[in-house]
Amino acid sequence: MSHDRRSGCSIGRVIRYVVDENDLDAEQRRHLRECPVCREELKRLDRGLCRLGRTVAEHTPEPARRPALPVEGRALPPRQAPLQKLVWGTGLGFALVMLIAVWAVFRSSLFPVSYQDVAQEMAEEEVLLAEVLALEENPLPDAYREISPEETAGVDEELFDFIVPVEGWSTDQESKTKEA
Amino acid sequence: MAVMQGRGADLRDQAAAVRRAVAGDRDAFEELINTYHRRIFAMVYSRITSRMDAEDITQEIFVRAFQGVKSLRDPELFKPWLYRIALNAVNDFLRKKRLRSIFTLFTREQDHDEVPDPTGSGSDYLEHKEFWARLKEFFSRLSPSEREAFRLRFLDGLCIREIAGVMEKNESTVKTHLYRAVEKFRRESDLSGLLKEEKA
């Protein structure tokens, strides 16, 4: 739909009429009645909304049972007023906060720590410290200490001298040979 | 004219029934149940799309109304007052359902409430399911106030004054919500294919 603003057509006016026809003055209502464009738009919108209402009704089943009132003479369950709920909720929340605060403040006095526990904890810490110091001295595990170079360096000195002769030694040998 | 006169007489009867119910007449309240229970059921069903839950909630609404009817000062306001109770009951139900869904998030429990009840043949059921899914999708594009005003006006058939009473807002606010919602409905083309044509 193309509304011509000069002739007073307005989709807003059509919608206002659909929502509440009393919102428009007599002049505006007359325009809606006489203007073919506005009339067509109004008809289309009105039809769409009616169809929606009808379709919803068609897709709504009939209730299987009629609501029944509580049996006469029997006391109804008491209804909790919203204010009462709010009071209860606030009270419970406040109590919970107070409980947490009390626990935080008096925790040490409520659950005292014995000297025995402290002594035991210190002894455990000492053992642990000793272990740490031993590791600092020699971080290798016991199995690796057995194969350390100092203890197993059984190098054959004679073979080593044969491969890399010592200078002084060879001179002595030569002089001995000469003397002979 | 005759229809108007009949409707006027109905309204007078209803007003009289409300007055008697406020005075403690149980039979008068039974009359009001007869008048409103289908409408309230339809209102609840269109919001939760589960027949069994809608029946339970409707029952709860009328019990609550029965408990509180004596405190109703203006019998003229019975209808918006009843719809207000209904809306609160639906919102309570949906809130509890959301809370339950948090706990069942990891249990792969299927949400049966979302599936509308089958009516008629298989194709009818699919059409039924698709219609409610599309309508839900359309409503998700409206703000909560626009959605509620639109539903009360065009699905439940309440007038502006009654909607203002139900939503506890003034009439001009309700009209603004309706105006925006209708504007969105006008631009909505997805729904049109699913809406029933007018019978000749």
> Quick check: A178 pLDDT over 70?
no
ipTM of the predicted assembly exceeds 0.85: no
| B99 and B26 part of one domain | yes
Residue A27 C-alpha from the chain's centroid: 61
Ranges of chain B with pLDDT below 50: 1, 109-113, 200
> Quick check: A110 pLDDT over 60?
yes
Please check whether residue B138 touches A, CB under 8 A: no
Q: What is the number of structural domains in chain B?
A: 2
Please indicate, yes or no, if residue B6 is contained in any of the structural domains: yes
Please indicate, yes or no, if residue B78 is contained in any of the structural domains: yes
Output A11 or B58, whichever has higher pLDDT: B58
| B97 and B169 part of one domain | no
> Quick check: A98 pLDDT over 80?
yes
Per-residue confidence (pLDDT) for residue B164, from 0 to 100? 95
Q: At what angle do helices B160-167 and B78-103 cross, to 10 degrees?
A: 50
| Chain B environment of A57 (Cβ under 8 Å) | 42
Of the three residues B125, B158, B183, the one that is the final residue of a domain is B125
* Domain coverage including residue B120: 1-125
- The string of pLDDT tens digits covering residues A64-87 is 999 998 887 665 555 666 677 778
Per-residue confidence (pLDDT) for residue A129, from 0 to 100? 93
A55 → closest Cβ in B63, B67, B196? B196
Cβ pairs bridging A and B (under 8 Å): 104
Output A138 or A178, whichever has higher pLDDT: A138
> Quick check: A143 pLDDT over 50?
yes
A-proximal residues of B, 68-97, CB under 8 Å: none
Per-residue confidence (pLDDT) for residue A33, from 0 to 100? 86
Residue B90: name the closest of B125, B29, B44 by CA.
Answer: B44
Q: Across all residues in chain A, what is the average pLDDT?
A: 79
Per-residue confidence (pLDDT) for residue B28, from 0 to 100? 93
Tell me, what CATH number does B108's domain have?
1.10.1740.10
Please indicate, yes or no, if residue B65 is contained in any of the structural domains: yes
- Mean pLDDT, residues A79-106 taken together: 83
| Chain B environment of A63 (Cβ under 8 Å) | 37-38, 41, 51, 54-55, 58
- Mean pLDDT, residues A159-177 taken together: 66
- Mean pLDDT, residues A98-108 taken together: 84
Q: Whole-prediction pTM value?
A: 0.66
DSSP label at residue A81: P
Of the three residues B125, B151, B183, the one that is the final residue of a domain is B125
Please indicate, yes or no, if residue B199 is contained in any of the structural domains: no
Output B101 or A15, whichever has higher pLDDT: A15
Question: In chain A, what are the domain boundaries?
Answer: 11-59, 91-163
Q: Is B145 exposed, middle or buried (0-12, 13-18, 19+ CB in 10 A)?
A: middle
| B42 and B20 part of one domain | yes
| B25 and B118 part of one domain | yes
CB B191 within 8 A of CB B156: no
